[in-house]
Amino acid sequence: MIKSIIRQTLSLTLILGIMLATTPQSFAEEQASTPKKKEVNDLDLKDLGYSSKEIKANPEKQKELDTRAKKLKTHQIMGLVTVGLMTATALTAEHNKVPAAHKTLGIASGVSYFTTAYFSLSAPEADKKGKDAWNVKAHKALAFLHFPLMILTPIAGLTAEKQIERGQSLHGLAKHKETLGIASVLSVAAAASLMVIDF
Amino acid sequence: MFLTFLVLALFSSPANADNWAVKTGTLTFKANHFFKNVVGVSKEPRGLIRCEKKKCDVLVAVKLDSFDSENSSRDTHMRETMKAGEHPIVEVRAETKSLSTGSRKNKATVKLAGLEHIYVLNLQIAKKADGYRVTTNVPFKLSDFMLDAPSLLGTAIEDLVPVDVVLEFAPKAD
């Protein structure tokens, strides 16, 4: 009995001695040569398969997004101002007369209109991952109508002013000034409305 | 016999963790404005649940440019608002004791636009044939992350933009 206990104790001591002699070094070697096992709490985006490029910040991209947002916000505000000015211009028009208010408002409308166009045309493009909504497509398409109208209408207005000053009856492009003016207001107002109804 | 047991006890490896990864899922946000309600959906969430020793760590993430509200111009503006250029991915981290089925409340930390905010979520966990289905609603607020609410005609969208989350997890091989 006692011999058995002594034998088991010696065997155990031998095993423990071998472990203490070899384990620390082998443990250190293992730590040096193999990557540390991830802790459960250290879940990382790379564990989900995202690449460094996908995770990485892109300040230039953010700057572009910010610029786009600011320019389109200004375009939105200027668009509404333009509709207001154009409506006031139309309301101050008189037959065979060129009221000062009408002329002033007309000039202001033109400046406002082209400023509005500048902020839209100079804004960075949207990411083309998705598609344009129907109202955005229609808003852009209406530009092909109101842009030429906003060139023709002031020309018609100036021509009409000269003919009235000479005492002539309106003819040529000047004869259609009223129609061109109303078409301009309605097309710009329609374009603005589309962006309010479904934004 | 005793020595054999001792050797086995000393040299046995730790128990393996259970890993679950998102197989499919959707995140749906709803933004409310006076003129219109907008719904945007992402079908590209990724996630991992790692369970070990009666604790499960959860990480769910989604790229902000994966959200689609059927209006690319609006989606681009959303990315600008969420500062996606600097922080392209929104993360949700949580800890839970187990994946037991049923309903329960659980804290989750949402990281967005460089900031973190803790929400208490009502989780619904259901067992599926090959994994788990987790659904919840995140009461996300723009002000929680100091984000400027987009506006139209002087009226901003509501601060609360709730996000419905539906995720299907399947076992992940190590």
Q: How far is B29 from chain A (nearest CA, A)?
A: 16
Backbone φ and ψ for A2, nearest 5 degrees, come out as: -65, -40
Q: With CA atoms as reference, report the closest residue to A81 among A111, A104, A102.
A: A111
Q: Cα separations (Å) of B146 from A115, B92, B113, B143, B151?
A: 32, 18, 9, 5, 15
Q: What is the pLDDT of residues A81-128, one digit of tens each?
A: 999 999 999 999 998 888 999 999 999 999 999 999 999 999 998 876
Count the neighbouring beta carbons within 10 Å of the beta carbon of residue A48: 21
Residues 130-169 of B with CB under 8 A from A: 152-153
Using a CB-CB distance cutoff of 8 angstroms, which residues of chain A are in contact with residue B6?
12, 15
Neighbouring C-beta atoms of residue B138, cutoff 10 Å: 18
Q: What percent of chain B has pLDDT over 90?
A: 71
Asked if A58 and B83 come within 8 Å (Cβ–Cβ), the reply is no
Q: Are the beta carbons of B80 and A57 separated by less than 8 Å? A: no
Question: Is A68's Cβ below 8 Å from some Cβ in B?
Answer: yes
B53 has a pLDDT exceeding 50: yes
pTM over 0.80: no
Least confident of A7-16, A19-28, A97-106, B97-106: A19-28
- In the three-class reduction of DSSP (H, G, I as helix; E, B as strand; rest coil), residue A3 is classed as helix
Predicted confidence (pLDDT) per residue in B150-167, tens digit: 988 888 999 999 999 999
ipTM > 0.85, yes or no: no
CA distance linking residue A49 with residue B84, whole number of Å: 19
Q: At what angle do helices A134-165 and A177-197 cross, to 10 degrees?
A: 160
Q: Which residues of A touch B79 (CB under 8 A)?
A: 65, 127
Flag whether residue A69 sits within 8 Å of chain B, measured between CB atoms: yes
The tokens for A162 are 């000269």
Q: What is the pLDDT of residue A32?
A: 44
Give the per-residue pLDDT at A12.
66
With an 8 Å Cβ cutoff, are A127 and B79 in contact?
yes
> Cβ(B41)–Cβ(B68) under 8 Å?
yes
